[in-house]
Structure 1
């Protein structure tokens, strides 16, 4: 054997030279043959013959290793660090049917291969595909195998990091940002406005139209049950009349708005807009609801916040004045009387929100006026109280004059 198990060469037994002794041809030939075999088994620096077994390095390293260029080549450390061979050399196709070429090329779709490509455009559908090195198109999905939303491949320059699951290509970095701490923006935060397609029943995908949405009514319509309703999602719903106007909108029962109405309260003037703030919540049973709150209607003012001021005991003829502090005229003033002690069928805490003449004459015959009037300046609000008459709660045909059992409040709206 030319080498022992440790790789050390030793000449064949009985071939050592002896002084003044003629070597026999058989011994000589054995040495020559053994040396030839040992040379054959040595590393061939010309690269004309391959290794025939695994080569242990004994803790040493290969140095000066060239960069691999074929799939069966070794990679040097620089290539491993840059992973440049895992990034597509070129990208083509369309936004939703991507093609990518790698150097060296992949030879087959194999589960768990990882690669990257630089997108040229944003996806517009939920099932875009990629075909690498002509191996066949695979659908691109995101973590857990969920369908992509349009724009989760965000557009030109988005470096997409992917792993093949054995069935689909999983995009590891879809364009979605989740903040886990407070974020300060030094520029305006601009949300998108999407106009929903007109139809007898208008459809709303809350993933593809996730922020502010607009509906332009050209006839009375229904607003259907939205798809992809996301708890915590919020924005504005703008409902606009066309140039004719007069149209209504009946929303699905998932929309929750005040008054127990089934048709939204809209300004139906031609081209008028009614704006609702919406937010998605879950009720106590976990069912999702979309709360609507009207925020604006063309040409109409809304009543703002209010503050109540204690104006003293009710019932006596006097003027009550409070300082509201708005620095401008209030939008509205409302007098309120609250029951302090049960009287006339009213319980403690019951309130009367409007005060009138009580259905009796406006004068008691002695020059004493009934009822009230309110006024305001930019600094104060007041109520002028006559002889207030209250109807019995349980007997509307009867009335009484409130006194120490009732207290007057003045509600001032900003």
Structure 2
């Protein structure tokens, strides 16, 4: 007999959760590399003078995570709107955006720095998603085509700032960095507290707005075959824009590619596009690939895609937990290598437990990665099942 008191199961879109799960797992590689891999100048995977193919690939593959995460957040925002009025959706997006910013400042900053005094507040992807979500919340009352126009203008046009001289006013320059051009921008709150911004908001907002617009393809009444064709052809066209503009080498990325000492490093230079802020070419390369994957994963589940969906169902839960687990492993390895409490703090360094002499080779990074995703599988599966079968209001914020 059916238990009529049980809430109905929530329906998910498997292709979206599969892609989201894939990028959530890949993302952990980069964060583990940040805390486990060697420190020092040779550790920079994008330095063409010192990088190796495997080191560059370890960084490059994770380039696909943030833009896909932001894009799918836009898709999810549209799907959330199918169950709400425009007014309700606007309020929800603004509140959820503010919540994500608070989580970034409180939970993620502490996971990164382990500094209980919060001398440095770190703004990363949750800050970008949160603020972009607030902007989207203010725009959702507009017709979908106007949101698409704004998204396209931001997506294709923000790199024009590469050719504009920065304002000399400190206030104007800081505003420009925070919202449009930030890469490691340091903003002073007072003599002991600072904001470290890695994610300029507006370029990421363009990605989210386009995700919101393409979310309309997932309306229940939309023809699945037509949706797959649109996603595939749009993805291939976006990747074509990346290749053509990269070959022209004039617009779309502040760092043009150059012929290097050998063929492999020349190829690396070609794909070494700018993430901070996300250039047009970076966004075309990553979002274009995401669209193709979405088109190709609309098929019956198998064991691998079912595994990915476990993580893709609960991205926020996984995101927060994986940072704390990585830091716990970092601390264990710190003491296991013979470091002591006097070496926890490194002068002029933001992160604790990361002295300049600390670090392991890449194979250890990948081993720790397998350990992290293995440990988090069962908590994610439990919470995924909980979210699927429960309807508490606060679950929509997680």
Q: TM-score, normalised by structure 1?
A: 0.17
More helix, by proportion: 2
More strand, by proportion: 1
Q: Larger C-alpha radius of gyration, 1 or 2?
A: 1
Q: Which has the higher contact order (CA 8 A, sep 6+)?
A: 2
